[in-house]
Structure 1
Amino acid sequence: MSAQQARGALLAQSGSGLRGLLTWWGHSLAAWLPASLRRIVVAGDERLWLQPQGDDVRLLLQGDAGPRELASLPLPLPAGSDPLQRVLHERARDLPRWLQLPDTAGLRRSLVLPAAARERLREVLSFEIERQTPFAATDVLFAGRLLQIRDDGQLHVELVVLPRTQFEATCARLGGMAQGLAGVDLITSNGQPLGVNVLPPASRGKQHDSWRWWNLGLAAVALLAIVLGMAQLLDNRRAAAATLKTQMQARETQARAISSERQRLLDTVEGETYLRAQRNDRPPVVEVMQALAQRLPDGTYLEKLSIDGDQLNVIGLSSQAAALVGKLEGAPQWTTPALSGALQQDPRTRMDRFTLVAQLAGKLPAAASSPAATSTAGEPR
């Protein structure tokens, strides 16, 4: 038998579909474990064989090293009591019980079935019982054993049949010891089991798993550890997010302060540029005052001189107030001089009080703004 055929046989005996694959995979992984650890991890690795022989029944413990006889009891046994509770230790009593009968007690037939029958092998074999044996399907216990997967994909299967009357008679002799059987197998003349379970699945006793509560507890601890780990991870993420948010807020405040300082600097620079432009666009105050001093006639006194934007305002007393406009015209520092309001005579000095306004002109060229040029401009032609 090739490796592929052996894998197919193991899959077929383990079950069909995903369950069979997982069973085969679990047994394959367990084969790599040490024997002591495999007995703990793999459920059903050990079993207790009940082997009737004549007037006695042998009790054999099936382990990794093979079957080992534990005791031998006389038959028949009482129906109401279970002698295994007395003759076996607690660990052996908890093992699944299997009845082992000689293959002469049943019938074996070789069949060739299509590959599609592998997924529903037991159902297919139930239809073959009446064709291959003299029994009806309801009168026997049966199982199928995959022997080979042929090259054309067909299955070489052995049908194993045990008459129900034979099984019930054996159980009657075993008494209470036959209760809760997990399986029934047949052995050949050389003492090798066939590796089948002719007991219907609904009638198989469930194995008591002494590690069940330990496994449930460990699973609960593992689940709790996963939940706590995820909660801790979530808390770490939240703390990291809060720290990042705090850092971002601090950096945002710092960025706002930097932006505010930058805007203030820009405003200062722009204001200075504007003032410099304004100063450069009109004549200096010294030139304006010098031009006024040169053009104002004698007997004129200034009380106030102010520059409001581009407007020159002059307030003072003069004995020649009416002639001031003509005196100030033609100056390069201002344009359109004019009196603002009526002249008022000061009773103390007998001079006229005047208010004169003019528009400041743009900045003069260097040659025009020199004192010589100003003096020339002020002289009458």
Structure 2
Amino acid sequence: MNSATQTLRPQLDRARRAWRGSPLPAFFAWWGGELRNLLPVRWQSFFSGGNVWCLLHHHEGQWYVRRSGQAQISAPWSDALEAPEQQGLLNAAVADVDRQDLRLALCLSQEAILHKRLLLPEAARDNLRQIGAFEMDRQTPFRVDQVYYDLREVPGAAPVGRIAAELVVAPRAVVDAKLEHLRNAGIAIDAVDLCKGDARLGVNLLPPEMARPHRDPRRRLNLALAAAAALLIVLCLGQWLHNRQEALTAMQTQVDDMRGDAQKIALLRKQLEDSTSASGFLAKRKTDSVAIVDVLQDLTARIPDDTWLERFTIDSAGRVGMQGQSAKAASLIDVLQSSKLLTGANFQGVIQRDPATNKERFFMDAQLRNPATGKPAASSSAGGSP
């Protein structure tokens, strides 16, 4: 174990204890079991990984083994057999367990174990094994070098600021004899525990340096699979972002096209409105104005034969100007008063007699009348002399 691992060991132990003390392991175990039960029977064994604890018992010179939590035991064998024979019988007893998942625990009897319940400060939670060594002389009749021990936190009521813990102690003389026999038989174990019913209690009296090392060949595969899964997640997220950007670009293009179409439609609508306004203006102007032809026809019908016009004008405001000669110019006012197209006829200036024609020269103006309303109206076009 290198210095970096030793430095991180307290943090790792703290994280393991926090994980084991949380309800998550039980939940995931239940959830995984439920999912595993949905698979075909042949496939369930492939997904039943994890440590499988098998308990070794020694009683009156006989060894037998059983799986933790199960009452069924294997056929016993004598501790007087040769090491290869004992190893073969042990392997036969645990043949249904994957070697990578197999964990062996030497199970001691209750008579060989000393239990002690302690109340410790919460700060001791991270260094329980060291606290157990310090408390050994005060809590037991043994010194720390005379026993194998373990101190674990147990659930239960405790005062505020303190935790409940259980100190489990076994004399070295009792344990060493069994460990020596197992070493001679070539059998390595992972823990020294005691049984609670058909299962192990959950302590490990074996010091960490005496536990057999385990190399998990599946760890590298699991790490590779985890890295591949993380890479796939990143790729999926990248693909999702790429697809989102592509969709956003396509939508932006559609929006730009629709905006261009909308601008074209707005321009066409404006042109249509302008055309409609212009046509409406022209139609209204045509409706509100009087045609010059109609004015000329009206004047032709009303002016006497001894009167002729030398000049005739209509401006944009509908103002009519007439200049000519007549035998009786003064009577023209009365003649034009009955006109439906002209109103406000009046002479401009003085009526003079032309010596050449012996006619009265006059200049008159009038205002065009709107035939529909009778009010003054503008002319549809300007006129000049006829």
Quickly name the TM-score band, shorter chain normalised.
Answer: 0.5 to 0.7
Q: Which residue identity does 1:102 align to in structure 2?
A: L
In structure 2, what is the equivalent of residue 20 of structure 1?
Answer: 21
Q: Which residue identity does 2:150 align to in structure 1?
A: A
1:143: Cα distance to partner?
2.0
Determine if contact 1:96/1:206 at 8 Å carries over to the other structure. Answer: no
In structure 2, what is the equivalent of residue 98 of structure 1?
Answer: 104
What is the distance in 1 between the residues matched to 2:78 and 2:248? 72
State whether structure 2 residue 206 is matched by structure 1 residue 199: yes
> Any unmatched runs of 5+ in structure 1?
1-13, 340-355, 370-381
Q: Which residue identity does 1:183 align to in structure 2?
A: A
In structure 2, what is the equivalent of residue 62 of structure 1?
Answer: 67
1:16: Cα distance to partner?
4.0
- Equivalent residues in 2 for 1:38-57 (5 A)? 40-44=47-51, 46-47=52-53
Change (3 A) 1:298 1:49: same
Determine if contact 2:318/2:368 at 8 Å carries over to the other structure. Answer: no
Change (3 A) 1:20 1:149: closer
State whether structure 2 residue 272 is matched by structure 1 residue 272: no
- Equivalent residues in 2 for 1:185-264 (5 A)? 185-186=193-194, 193-200=200-207, 204-205=211-212, 207-264=214-271
Q: Which residue identity does 1:285 align to in structure 2?
A: I
Determine if contact 2:56/2:66 at 8 Å carries over to the other structure. Answer: no
1:129: Cα distance to partner?
2.0
1:257: Cα distance to partner?
3.7
- Equivalent residues in 2 for 1:334-349 (5 A)? none
Change (3 A) 1:267 1:202: farther
In structure 1, what is the equivalent of residue 8 of structure 2?
Answer: none
1:64: Cα distance to partner?
6.7
Change (3 A) 1:172 1:358: farther
What is the distance in 1 between the residues matched to 2:345 and 2:222? 108
User: For each residue in 1:2-24, what CA deviation from the matched residue of structure 2 results, as whole angstroms up to 9, or x when unmatched?
Assistant: xxxxxxxxxxxx96434422333
In structure 2, what is the equivalent of residue 132 of structure 1?
Answer: 139
State whether structure 2 residue 316 is matched by structure 1 residue 309: yes
How many residues are treated as equivalent by the alignment?
329
Pick one of 109, 112, 128 that aligns with 1:122.
128
Determine if contact 2:290/2:371 at 8 Å carries over to the other structure. Answer: yes
In structure 2, what is the equivalent of residue 9 of structure 1?
Answer: none
What is the distance in 1 between the residues matched to 2:171 and 2:367? 133
Q: Which residue identity does 2:168 align to in structure 1?
A: V
1:165: Cα distance to partner?
6.6
What is the distance in 2 between the residues matched to 1:185 and 1:95? 18
State whether structure 2 residue 189 is matched by structure 1 residue 184: no
In structure 1, what is the equivalent of residue 170 of structure 2?
Answer: 162
What is the distance in 1 between the residues matched to 2:232 and 2:366? 89
What is the distance in 1 between the residues matched to 2:260 and 2:333? 59
1:108: Cα distance to partner?
0.8
What is the distance in 1 between the residues matched to 2:372 and 2:99? 124
Pick one of 332, 338, 363 that aligns with 2:370.
363
User: For each residue in 1:17-53, what CA deviation from the matched residue of structure 2 results, as whole angstroms up to 9, or x when unmatched?
Assistant: 3442233334444565559837744411x24556677
RMSD of aligned alpha carbons: 5.7
Q: Which residue identity does 1:24 align to in structure 2?
A: A
- The more displaced of 261-270 and 98-107 is 98-107
Change (3 A) 1:152 1:298: same
Calculate the TM-score normalised by the size of structure 2. 0.57
Determine if contact 1:288/1:333 at 8 Å carries over to the other structure. Answer: no
Determine if contact 2:369/2:375 at 8 Å carries over to the other structure. Answer: no
User: For each residue in 1:171-193, what CA deviation from the matched residue of structure 2 results, as whole angstroms up to 9, or x when unmatched?
Assistant: 555169476x53222459x9975
What is the distance in 2 between the residues matched to 1:202 and 1:285? 126
User: For each residue in 1:255-278, what CA deviation from the matched residue of structure 2 results, as whole angstroms up to 9, or x when unmatched?
Assistant: 334333332332223223322333
What is the distance in 1 between the residues matched to 2:200 and 2:221? 33
Pick one of 289, 292, 317 that aligns with 2:296.
289
Q: Which residue identity does 1:185 align to in structure 2?
A: D
Determine if contact 2:148/2:206 at 8 Å carries over to the other structure. Answer: yes
Calculate the TM-score normalised by the size of structure 1. 0.57
